[in-house]
Structure 1
């Protein structure tokens, strides 16, 4: 890669990854607060893996041990992918799904639809991190980051950021939805942005 390409990728990571990661954390918070059993299992893992964790002590190898928290991230990203559409452009003729597509065709991939499709997921509308924690589903089935040589260069950064946010917030604070019965509020375009999430935060004792 040239220096210009490297700079472009880094810019995409930090600019393209800020709003999407922020929205993903909102979705994680919403679903965790709606499912107390998930929240308790997540807190138990954080307390077990990071007993002395604080905002001044952070090691990536410790965060990588948060397997259930990682499953929570994957399941929230499955149900509410911050990126709703993937775009692919073919430069030569291809046979796809029984049709012959000419060079120059653009494909828009319905990421949210694919990640909730009942042919590939059991109870697709249910928030269930165990589907990843128990290896019922491979995390490679989450396609918001793309795949192959076109995979998002910020995938690892996004995952680590989400785990760090979970550890920092839930280790130190009790987080509850102000209105638990309110639906999740978001604005859907190419990016599915969380538009409003009202939470009540208090120190965790």
Structure 2
């Protein structure tokens, strides 16, 4: 009896598998890729290994199939693409803007904000948020960058006395969190001096849980997560409750306060027109004063965008800063040249605040950051979903296909970047950057209409933090090398280890 039931179930699964794949198989039959198993496809090729092994499999496929290949996960077709000429078709288009299915997990925290939304909602939100990154608003945030970087160097001081290796990642995480809270919401959470704060712990918890789920296929499904990881599910729900409650309270308080301020002024100014004033304009204020189709954004709409900025603005920037510090500690010649540029722009006073103009003049610093982003991109992969049949270099990619863009592989392609494993900031100087490199070959901030809206913000924040650290400390090549893991954000299983010594001018 049991055998009969098993045969019936297996037969049904095989039939359904064949039925669901048929149309897409017909369309994608010519796309190169590994052999597939009935029902499971190539599932076991990726799920029986850890993250690092998956990276090796992706790299192997990327080389074997010349940057364009397909795999099946049960009845879900996925395409791996790394050729710049192919990526331009997708990334430059306003039609191919839907994020991949894995981003659905982020929706628990971020809802349908700018990172996860698509279609008309994404277009309208992008238009609303763009003024928040006007250069005059960014100029106002430089004070916040400098203040939080000052706290950062004080927190690091104990390690300069010991001159022993330490993991710099937790320190940068808290500094970046302080920055993004103040610039996004206009509130101080004092993460660096009070890491036990309820909100700070909740951000840490939800980020850790999301990254764990994204790296583990089995618990990406909400039902399976609730059944087989119930303790972590409760921890996730508690963190979400704290995060959403905090953001909602800040929004409501600021809405009331802003209405009072505007009433006193007897007029409502466009925040983008008022950006020359000394008052800082956080993202929250711009959202509160914005409309879509004549209607103001609801508190839920605003929370989605604030939470999105919180996620994107602290984890990715943390990764970017940490790997720059690591590479500088291992390349004393580059560190020396960069420090000389900093002294030439700012002088010898360690305590004098940096200005927007100072940061703009650090041209070699830009080259250093760009090269670090090439070697250790904070967002190592991009995931999209095709919403219509698309011709890619003679192959038809069917609607519904998941797209993986392995940025971390592309930017180490020796056919594009000579000697790609070598840290060489000079490859990004003005004279060298004139080389004929496809603009879709170097995309640490993505590219096209869905590129990172906050990339100028991130560059300024990174410049500020790195400059402040180098003005106070010499970076030493201590500790083990990072062990990078690929997720939505580039991390390291063993931290990012450096040593520091008090800087003597």
1:200 Cα deviation (Å)?
2.4
Distance 1:153 1:9 in 2: 12
Contact 1:74–1:142 at 8 Å: present in 2 too? no
- Gapped regions of structure 2 (runs ≥ 5): 1-123, 125-291
Q: Decide which of 404, 410, 414 is 1:108's aligned counterpart.
A: 404
User: What are the superposed Cα offsets for residues 87-142 of structure 1, whole Å, 9 maximum, x if unpaired?
Assistant: 12222221113211122222110100100011111111110000002442379543
Distance 1:54 1:9 in 2: 36
1:10 Cα deviation (Å)?
4.1
Residue 177, structure 1, aligned to residue 477, structure 2: yes
Distance 2:363 2:319 in 1: 21
CA separation of 1:98 and 1:60: change in aligned 2, threshold 3 A: same
- Which residue in the other structure is 1:198 paired with? 497
Larger strand proportion of the pair: 1
Q: How many residues matched?
A: 203
Greater shift, 100-109 or 73-82, is seen at 100-109
User: What are the superposed Cα offsets for residues 132-169 of structure 1, whole Å, 9 maximum, x if unpaired?
Assistant: 02442379543121112101122111111110011110
Write the mapping of 1:150-165 to structure 2, written as runs, cut at 5 A: 150-165=450-465
- Three-state SS of the structure 2 residue aligned to 1:178 is coil
- Which residue in the other structure is 2:72 paired with? none
- Which residue in the other structure is 1:60 paired with? 356
- Gapped regions of structure 1 (runs ≥ 5): none
Structure of greater Rg: 2
- Three-state SS of the structure 2 residue aligned to 1:200 is strand
For normalisation by structure 1, the TM-score amounts to: 0.88
Larger helix proportion of the pair: 2
Q: Decide which of 361, 369, 372 is 1:76's aligned counterpart.
A: 372
- Three-state SS of the structure 1 residue aligned to 2:474 is strand
Write the mapping of 1:1-150 to structure 2, written as runs, cut at 5 A: 1=124, 2=292, 3=297, 8-51=304-347, 54=350, 57-137=353-433, 140=439, 141-150=441-450
- Three-state SS of the structure 1 residue aligned to 2:445 is coil
Distance 2:414 2:404 in 1: 20
1:55 Cα deviation (Å)?
5.2
Alignment RMSD (CA, Å): 2.2
1:177 Cα deviation (Å)?
2.6
Distance 1:172 1:21 in 2: 21
User: What are the superposed Cα offsets for residues 38-64 of structure 1, whole Å, 9 maximum, x if unpaired?
Assistant: 111100101101115655513122101
